[in-house]
Every structure is written in structure tokens, then in C-alpha cells.
């Protein structure tokens, strides 16, 4: 089975490296609910504004968020299309594993004669 997931290997690497950090996952969750400025986001974390900016930059490189300047503020928006593509990729992996589990079940069913099940 060929898995078509619309993401290059580099994009997948950036995406899952970005999501590997709890703070970045929280930022994505917050901006999915409502766009927020980097300043507003920084208020939620016990870290410097610069550290939050770096987290946002990692998310931006992974195409999970975009930034838009509004006056003096940088407003962060979620990029749900990237999350949907990641979900499709994970779904394709899940389908591969489900197929493997079905084949294992089929093999086990072939190896044990029906009359011998449960007699061990």
C-alpha cells in the first residue's frame, strides 16, 4: 500500500518535531480556539517573551501557525490545513497497523484448528 499524505519527509519531520514540545502544542491549541498576539501568548507561560517567540517561529516553520502584523503586534493564527494533513498521515499509519492486525488474526485462525480452540 502506498501512503499518499501530501507532506514531504522534511515537512513531516518539522511538523512532528514542532508538536513534540508541550508548550508548542498548547500554543497551537490556544490559537485554534482564537487568534492571539505573541504578547498575549507570552502571558500564559513562565518564560520570556523571546522564548515564546522562538516557539512560535518553530510552529511557523512547521506551517502549523501563521503570523500577521497588526500595528505593533504580531497576531498568531492556526493553520488547520496542516493539522488535517497530519491527521490524514496518522490515519494512513493506523490503517496500515489495522491491516497488519487483521492479517495476524487470520494467520492465528488458520493455525489453530476450530475444534482445538480453548482446549489447552
Residuewise pLDDT in 10s, the chain (120 residues): 344 457 888 999 999 999 999 999 999 999 999 999 999 999 999 999 999 999 999 999 999 999 999 999 999 999 999 999 988 988 988 888 888 888 888 888 887 666 665 655
Q: Give φ, ψ of 87 to 5 degrees.
A: -65, -40
The DSSP secondary structure of 64-103, one letter per residue, reads: SEEEEEETTEEEEEE-HHHHHHHHHHHHHHHHHHHHHHHH
End-to-end, the C-alpha distance of the chain in Å comes to 37
Long-range contacts of 10-19 (CB under 8 A, 24+ apart): 11/62, 11/63, 12/86, 12/89, 14/61, 14/62, 14/63, 15/62, 15/63, 15/64, 15/82, 15/86, 16/86, 17/58, 17/62, 18/58, 18/59, 18/61, 18/62, 18/64, 19/62, 19/64, 19/86
Amino acid at each position: 500500500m502506498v501512503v499518499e499524505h501530501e507532506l514531504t519527509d522534511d515537512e513531516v519531520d518539522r511538523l512532528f518535531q514542532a508538536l513534540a514540545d508541550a508548550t508548542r502544542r498548547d500554543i497551537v491549541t490556544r490559537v485554534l480556539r482564537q487568534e492571539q498576539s505573541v504578547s498575549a501568548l507570552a502571558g500564559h507561560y513562565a518564560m520570556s517573551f523571546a522564548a515564546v517567540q522562538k516557539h512560535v517561529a518553530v510552529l511557523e516553520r512547521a506551517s502549523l501557525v501563521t503570523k500577521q502584523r497588526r500595528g505593533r503586534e504580531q497576531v498568531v493564527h492556526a493553520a488547520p490545513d496542516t493539522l488535517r494533513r497530519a491527521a490524514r498521515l496518522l490515519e494512513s499509519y493506523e490503517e496500515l497497523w489495522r491491516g497488519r492486525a487483521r492479517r495476524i488474526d487470520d494467520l492465528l485462525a488458520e493455525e489453530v484448528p476450530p475444534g482445538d480452540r480453548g482446549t489447552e
